[in-house]
Amino acid sequence: MLLNYLTIAIRNLYKYKIYSFINILGLSVGIAFFTLLLILIRHELSFDSIHKNNQRIFRVTKLIEKNGVGEKAASVPFPMGPTMKEFYPEYVENTVRMFNFQVPSHSIEYKEIRDNEPFLYFADESFFEIFDFPLALGDPKIAINRPFSVVISDRAASKYFKGENPIGKKLIYEDKTTLTITGVFAPKTYASHFEFDFIVAFSSLYQMDIDPEIIKSNWKWDPCWTYVLLQEGKSPEDLEYLLDKLVLKVFPESFREEVNIFLQPVREIHLYSDLDFELSPNGDIRYIYLFAAIALLILIIAAINFTNLSSAKSSLRAKEIGIRKAIGADRMELGKQFFIEFIFICLIAILIAFVLVELLLPFLSNVADTDLDFTHLDKSLLLTSIISSGLLIGMLSSLFPAYYLAKFRPAEVLSGSIVLGVRSRRFRGVLVILQFVITGFLLITTFVSIGQFAYLKNADLGFNKEQILIIPIANTNLRFNFDSLKKDLLKSEVIVSVTAMEEVLGTNYRIHDYLPKSKEKQNEYIYLPSLMVDYDFTETFDISLVAGRTFKRGENDEYKGILVNEKMVKYLGYKSNKGILGQKLKSRGGAERIIGVVKDFNFQSLHSEITPFVIDMPSARSKFFYSKFIAIKVKENHEYQALLASKKIWYKFLPNRTFEYYFLSKKLNKMYFKERKLGLVTGYFSIVAIIIACLGLFGLSSFVVDMRKKEIAIRKAIGTTDVSIVFLLLKEFFLLVGVAILISWPISYFVMENWLKSFPFRVNMGLGVYLDAALIIFTITLITVS
């Protein structure tokens, strides 16, 4: 009997070639893209799951805030980890610190190979006791238990040693320190919230250019990413309560009241954390929910498509069903026949979907800017999602045709007295509406997300980000003879101005403590975002001055002076910009005088509001600041010439140091990678939804023509034009699509308006977005049905 059913199924596939092709293609594409999104979601949810004790591993974070201004830092002071373990051993099993000198890259040399490496960290030897990153070579128990030992990634091993065994080989760090390789990490097959290519023994720091007392007892500086492994059964909330008391004991009296320490589960960092000084850009759980919704919607569209075309095709088989019932087939037998036929079609679609997933996975990996490798996928998840989704659609889709056709009376069907398709047409109409509600929603979502990304990318930040060349100079002697370098750079005709800064404007800043004159009696420091800079800073970035003056060379003043923004004026309670001029702010570098007020600008990403901000140029006696970046303003359309000139001058000063650079505009655009990813993913999957919906429309319109051949022939016989006949056929589909569009509008508005509310700076959802989506859908409907 089963063989008979399969024979009938194959015969019907051949008989109804167009319907079968559209059905299989639409279903396989839907299942494939549903599975691709599941793979992406699974990858995003798998971060840091490699560690066997991941439920007990927490990152120590610090919040320091007063009157709504401060920072939420992913890093904490050097002594935090060891002190926690010393004071609360019943709660803390182990801790590990990671440190990178707060520089963007580190010089590494092996023989003739030299490069700047961004993913180098110094870590306690407990690194391998807390984390379970596998090694291909070396023993994790002793890999970094000696000073100047280093474990490298397989990527770094390939880069520097090209197939040689790296164990025991020597690397030169920053031109003067020799590191011995004691281990090599296994190729990465897991997801982690931080990247690393070099893990150097933390004990090396005690023999390098850093004061040991800073490591032991400095509670003002937050340079370490610190992780804690809790004892079995201990609550992080209980430890946080104890840490509040610890803060009052060890942090400086001037700001200990404003400090709060929190423990962040390591498994939540990637999707739930957006702190200052993250180790790497994180994801966003809201986008995971949205991707899951899109995956489900794509599958629903494919299921609707399959159900619609299957029921339409089944209606053409009414006489076949009537004959089978006339010779004794009951409802159960007919139901089995339809069930097996549909499952057979679904199995074909499943096989095609599996091939599509393998072919399209690299494309998705590129679009989502993530590392998805087919060879490292969880094959059980892949097979389960593809097979289960395909079979589920097959089973559900077989129910309506089986029920609808199995209740026909043979005599009525064979005599032609039954009118086919009345109820099923209504059912198919409802499914078409649902299909285009989803398609409309995805289109509007795409337009809004792409529009928001474009807005963030092109918004006026209040400073010039174009034609700005950034060159990192941390860990080089250029920070000590910057004036000579600047003088040579300005000799080039394509370079307009040059300045230096502690962090790159628009991407990062520092929180420094300042004591306003009005708070001196109470010794009440305030904590403000600030940037240490050099001369010509405002000129290089075209920052507007609204009161006072900027920094000038050759000043005989006791104080170099600082600039503040308009928000700072209001924050300190001054009624006018001029009123704050001449006031003093005491800092670690000594007292500084406010010499100017600049117009408010976005010194951080557009994910954040503009807050009070200080642009500081410390006096010569200040010992805590040095430049880490050079900013070069280039003549428009002369970027390449300026790059060549800068590179030549760089090698004049540092002949053995790799020249590293980037343009500020590109760096700033990368800060909105999550919005870009959302726009691209929704965009491509909207196209998929449209394709599947169009396949369904094409099949349904063909079915309608087949069912109304006699009517069309009669109309043509009495003189009806082809245009009128096409319009007659279009009218029904346009009505369904129009209803779908009207339903999709309020749903899309509610969802996307709530998403946009999370942005302080956002695009406005005008009527044009909805009209564009409607126009696209109507145009596609017109082309497909015609």
pLDDT digits (tens, 9 = 90+) for 298-349: 988 988 888 777 776 666 555 666 666 555 556 666 667 767 777 788 888 8
689 Cβ partners below 8 Å, 6+ apart?
297, 298, 301, 438, 439, 442
Of 110, 311, 273, 92, which Cα lies nearest the Cα of 194? 273
73 Cβ partners below 8 Å, 6+ apart?
61, 62, 63, 64, 222, 275, 276, 277, 511
Nearest-angstrom CA–CA distance, 490 and 487? 5
Strands 510-516 and 135-137: unpaired
Residues in the chain: 786
61 close to 70: Cβ distance less than 8 angstroms: no
Residue 335's pLDDT is: 62
Domain spans, the chain: 2-44+285-457+672-785, 75-234, 477-656
Residue 621's pLDDT is: 46
Instruction: Write out the H or E segment, with its range, that includes residue 412.
Output: helix 410-415
The 3-state DSSP class for residue 371 equals coil
Convert the pLDDT of each residue in 183-203 to its tens digit.
999 999 899 999 999 999 999
Whether 625 has a pLDDT exceeding 90, the answer reads no
One-letter amino acid at 423 equals R
CA atoms within 13 A on the CB side of 450: 14
Residue 539's pLDDT is: 96
Kindly state the percentage of the chain with pLDDT values over 90: 55
Whether 624 has a pLDDT exceeding 50, the answer reads no
pLDDT bucket at 623, cuts 50 / 70 / 90: very low
51 close to 192: Cβ distance less than 8 angstroms: no
Whether 400 has a pLDDT exceeding 80, the answer reads no
Q: CA-based angle 300:303:304, to the nearest 5? A: 85
Kindly state the percentage of the chain with pLDDT values over 70: 84
Nearest-angstrom CA–CA distance, 180 and 159? 16
Strand partners, 170: 180
Nearest-angstrom CA–CA distance, 458 and 452? 10
pTM: 0.88
One-letter amino acid at 181 equals I
Whether 691 has a pLDDT exceeding 80, the answer reads yes
467-492: average pLDDT:
90
Q: What is the DSSP letter of 99?
A: E
Convert the pLDDT of each residue in 166-176 to its tens digit.
999 999 999 88
657 close to 349: Cβ distance less than 8 angstroms: no
Residue 567's pLDDT is: 95
